[in-house]
Each structure stands twice: as C-alpha cells, then as structure tokens.
Chain A
Amino acid sequence: MNAPSKAPFKARAKAALADPVLKTAIDRTTGNAERKRAAAVAAFPEFEAARARGKAIKDHVVAHLDHYLEMFERNAAARGAQVHWAADDAEARAIVTRICLAADARLVTRAKSMLGEEIGLPHALADAGIERVETDLAEHIIQLAGEAPSHIIWPAMHRTREQVAELFKTGHHPPPAAEDPATMVQSARTQLRTKFLSADIGISGANFLVADTGATCTVTNEGNAELTTTPPRIHIVTAGIEKLVPSTAHAFALLRLLVRSATGGEMTQYTTFHAGPKRPGDADGPEEMHIVLVDNGRTKMLADEFREMLRCIRCGACMNHCVVYRQIGGHAYGGTYPGPMGSVLTPVLDGLAASRDLPNACTMNGRCAEVCPVGIPLPTLLRAWRRRSWREGLEPGSIRTGIGLWAQLARRPRLYRLATRIGLPLLRLFGRGGWISRLPLAGGWTDHRDLPRPAAQSFMDQYRAQQKGRK
C-alpha cells in the first residue's frame, strides 16, 4: 500500500476540505466526467440492457472462476507466456522483482495499472534499485510529484495545470516552452520517447484476461501501453484474478460499458490484446511474456458478502458521482482505491480496523450504485462493513454509548416523544435561515456540513394534531 499520509481519515478529509485549489481541480475533472458519461449513456438507448448483460457476464465468470483461471493459464501457456500465481501483494512483488533481477534489468517502463499500485510495485522496484518510468501522462505527473494516484482513471486529477507546469519545469530537460496543456503534453512525449526505446522490461496491467485465447487486454487513449510492451525484451502483466472473461466477444460487451462509464467515450483509442511473446519471424515484440495472477483478498471476497464487488471493472464512475469524493478527492481516503468502490475494497486490503472510517463517511445517497455499469450495490456493501465494524467492536466508545442511549430511548416510545419535545425547541435555537451550521458538541458534524433546522413540532405531534383536527 502506498497511502500518501498515515494521518487518520478525518484529519486528511479536513485538510482536503480546506484546500480550495484541490476543490477546483476535482470539480473540473469530475464535472466533465459526469456530463460526458450522461451524454454517452443517452446516446446508447440500450445501455440498461447492456448493463444487465455485463453484470450477468461478470457473475458467470465469478461463479466459475477456477474453471476460467485454468482455461486462461492453459491458453496463455500455449502461446508461450509464463503464468505466475501470487496469493498476496508480497508474493506478487517478489515475483516481479525476481523476473527483473534475473534479467539484469536497469530500466523498467510501466503503463498505468491500479493493480500495480495495489501490490506496491513502485516501491518494490525502487527497493530493488531498478529505475521505473511511468509512461501514462498522469502517472508521469504524479511520479514527478512523488505522489500516489488520486483517481483510478485520472490519477493526477488533483493537480491543476499550473502545478503540472511547475513539476515539468524542474522534471523535464529542457523544460516545456510554455504552460498550456498541448505544449506540456508534447514535452512529455519527447522526454519519454527515449525511455520507451531503451527499457529492459515493460510492465502493464490488464483490463481483461481472455480465457479462450489466453490473451490479456489493455485499453488506453495515449498509446503508451504499446510503446511500453513492444520494444523491451520482457513484458510483464500483473492482473487481479477477477479480470477474466470467457472470450473476446464477452470482453467487448464489457468494454462498451467500461469506456462510456469511465470517460464518456465509446471506445478507447487503443484496445490491445497481447497473446504471448514474439513469434518466429515477427517484426517486433518482447522475447518473454510473464503474467502474474494476483489474489490479494479476492478469494476472501468470493467467500463472503463482498462477492458482488468482484464484478467491478474499475471504471471510476462511482467516484465521479460521489458527493464525498467530490469534496475531499482521492488522497483523503488513504488507500489505493478511493471513492465508493475504494471504501468497499480498502477494508479488504488494509483491514477494517485501519479503515472503518471509510464506510462510515458514506452519505448513502445511492448515486454510485445508480451509475455503476455492472450493478454493484455499493451502499449495501458499505452498510455490511458498518455492521461488521459494530460487531467486531471497532466503533469508538463514545459512538457505542451514544447509540446505546438512543436505542434505550427508541425502545420506550413515551420517553422518546418526551425527549424530542424537549430537544426540538432547543435545537431550533441554533438555526439560521433554515439551517444549523454550528451546534455545541456536534462540531464533528457541523464543521463541514449544515443541518436542516428542524420543524417546531415532531412528526408524531404534527400527526396527532392533524388526526384530532379530522375527527
């Protein structure tokens, strides 16, 4: 894991909320993503039916995961790829590092892969003394900044163009001639070109693992994946075991959902299938291809109530539409994956004790589940973590006492009504223009949120009065 900060979630969220530049950066990207996705879905009237199909395909694969893993392994091996299995992140890191060291690799190029982040590949390569060059433009930006991704599709979305210009000014030789995005992209193109061509190993992830051909499939818009995987002597793919699909046609059915949900496009510019190393006579391509299949908590999810999360195709729509993510950005979450999907995954990856604040930060407005292209009931899964956190006694004493008191009251209707009758007028004293923005002892809530000023009478009292009036 490479969380940017070890501070508790609440402190990170508070810092993020106090950062106006961050807010601007988040708004620009997520607002755009939301609009473009809506347009793409509107232009594809069969989207709902496609979504039902996509969900069914992923459920089918998950229900026969062992079958498809073995089929993929067989077919990938038949094409000359070497398939490795890693039960957890440490095993995955060890496998990749071993391949790099055995090949005497000095320079490794990498095409963006969230799984690579999940297993801590950047640190592992650094520890092994291997130069790592991130080739995706956003990953290049955050590598210069020494940061972790803050979004699974736009890892550098927390950086404004002015900040990127600062990074390129010191990180590029020569620095870009101007600060507009086009000039800066051109500068990155020139900087990375020689790296692509002189790398010993190229590492990529996979959006799909195609069982019946043994191919891995990667989608990108920049073309950096092909430049990463073609010139070096060795190509390594790291992929989660949930990435399987039965065939290329199944991958396409999911691709239609993935691209529209992620960027609002219809197809990524490059959709590339890799099946083994260079063949005899091939004009180019790597001499070795390694595929590392990574479990890292996925079989645990398969065995419990989080199985549905294995459908996730990592499109990022849930975070683009999340009111919490849009306020605090990705780094505040502290895990590899931010937003709603991250709040479900981080407790699996980092343990619930370290991450119980994430499921609690959800407002349960349900937008994430509405836009999820494979119908993952994210709020339900987040509630499952809350229940587990309560069962395992991870909630702090003050909350347990508070909820305990409330439970005592709630079980005694007369007492409850009495309490609300006394409490409501008091609460109303703090209201200004319909909202309460400051409340003693409740700063945890009101520092960053307003509470609607309650009605003068409780619902029960209003109801009674009305009933009386009718008689």
Chain B
Amino acid sequence: MTARDRILSAIRTALGPGKPPAQIAAEAAALLDPAGIARPHLVAPVLPDAFALKATALGTTIDRVASMADLPQAMARYLDAHGLPPRFAMQPAPELAALDWQGLAPHQGTAPDEPTALGLALCGIAESGSLVIHSGPDNPILMSFLPLHHVAVLRESTLLPYLEDYAARLSAQAVPRNAILITGPSGTTDIEGSYVRGAHGPGFLHVILIADAGTEPG
C-alpha cells in the first residue's frame, strides 16, 4: 500500500462512511453564508477612505491623485521626499510605459538592492487596507519584494469591501501561480518584540490612489 492509500484508509476507518460530495459542498457553502460571517466593520462609509485609514494605520503612506496622468508627478514627489534617485524599477505594464515620465528614469528588471520599484496593484481590500498582486507575464513577483521602497498604483474603482469579495473574484477567474495580499511594509518583531521595518521585503510601502471612481458607499 502506498502512503496515500494508508492515510486515506486510516481516515475512512476513523470517520466511517462519507457523505455525497454535493452535500459536503452545501455544508461548506453554509459556513460562508453572509448572515453568519463575522467580520470587522469598515472604518469609513466609503471604500477609498476606509482603505486609506486602514493602510495608514499600518505604516503605509498614501497619495491620492485624480487620474493616471498624475502618476509621474506623484512618483517624482515621493522620490524627492525620500531623497531617492530618479532611476527606479517599473513593472513592464503597457499603461505605465505609455505615461510621460518627464525627468524620471524608469527601467525594467529589479536589482537585488534596487532602491525603488513601481507597480500596479490588481485591487485593494478596504477591510484590511491590503493590496493584491498576481504573478504573470507582466508582473514579476520579486519586483515587489527586493526594493526598499515599494510604490503601488491602486485604482479606487478596484477597491473591494471585504476579504470574501476578493475570494469570490479569485474563484471566478483563473487562479494565478502566486496571489499576494500585501498589508503594510515588511516588518519583524523577532528581537524582543520590538517592531523593525524592512526585515526582508520593502521597508516602505507607498500607495498612489487614483480617484477613477465615484465614491459610492461600500
């Protein structure tokens, strides 16, 4: 008998006869029924405010701008404020490449000690102030982890109220190789519980929030 057979048969002996899969699925779904889901309340009535409040509480900085066209300026502001060089790694996404970067110098590829990288978030979650990124041909995962400063572009129109809303979206589409929820800059409390930022991932997380949606109540 293989280990697989031994494990499964030990489980079946312990549990007795199983239920039909449809019944198991119904029970699992009932465990998610919205009436019984206990989740935290959003901290503001509109999603962008709720997201921004949560994110800043965790040490993420936020710059709210009107449109994608404002991105180069917002980026220049951030680099300037932190005394960073105008060279930064940029996600190979057409909508970023299409912008006029003026005096800045975005480049592809992320060096092991890259100071800054700029990428697009797929969506944001207001409940927790999290950003979501998915791996893919135009999104190298390391770009969000190697630099000291991670700047993420987030469109207000992509904000979701709760973690479950993102889960629903994930099951409706093809699951990527790597899906990551980023909630604040990298940190550790491993030395005597004192909080230090930038343990391995970015020590700074900056979100440029694009107001591309009306602010309907979440």
Contacts and interface: CB of A to CB of B under 8 A. Distances in A.
A67 B194 CA distance: 43
Interface residues of B, number: 76
Interface string A165-206: 000000000000000011011101100111011000000000
A249 B164 contact: yes
Interface stretch (B63-71, B80-88, B96-104, B196-204): B196-204
B113 interface: yes
Interface stretch (A100-108, A266-274, A327-335, A348-356): A266-274
Contact of A283 (B8, B32, B36, B135): B135
Interface-central residue, A52, A159, A164, A222, by most chain B CB under 10 Å? A222
Interface-central residue, B11, B21, B182, B198, by most chain A CB under 10 Å? B11
B177 A227 contact: no
A55 to B, nearest CB: 10
A311 to B, nearest CB: 14
A156 interface: yes
Given A215-B175, A267-B130, A223 B186 contact: yes
Contact of A299 (B10, B37, B130): B10
B181 A267 contact: yes
Nearest to A56: B31
A29 B182 contact: no
A222 B186 contact: yes
A43 B144 CA distance: 30
B4 A85 contact: yes
Interface string A251-290: 1110110000001001111111111111101111100000
A164 B191 contact: yes
Interface string A374-412: 000000000000000000000000000000000000000
A141 B179 CA distance: 29
A284 B18 contact: no
A271 B181 contact: yes
B119 to A, nearest CB: 11
A46 B202 CA distance: 33
Interface of A: 25, 28-29, 32-33, 43-44, 46-50, 52-53, 56-57, 60, 63-67, 69-70, 79, 85-87, 91, 135-138, 141, 154, 156-157, 159-161, 164, 181-182, 184-186, 188-189, 192-194, 196-197, 212-215, 221-224, 226-227, 229-231, 241, 246-253, 255-256, 263, 266-279, 281-285, 293, 295, 299-300, 302-303, 307
| In the A-B complex, the 3 residue pairs with the closest CB atoms | A223-B201, A46-B38, A49-B38
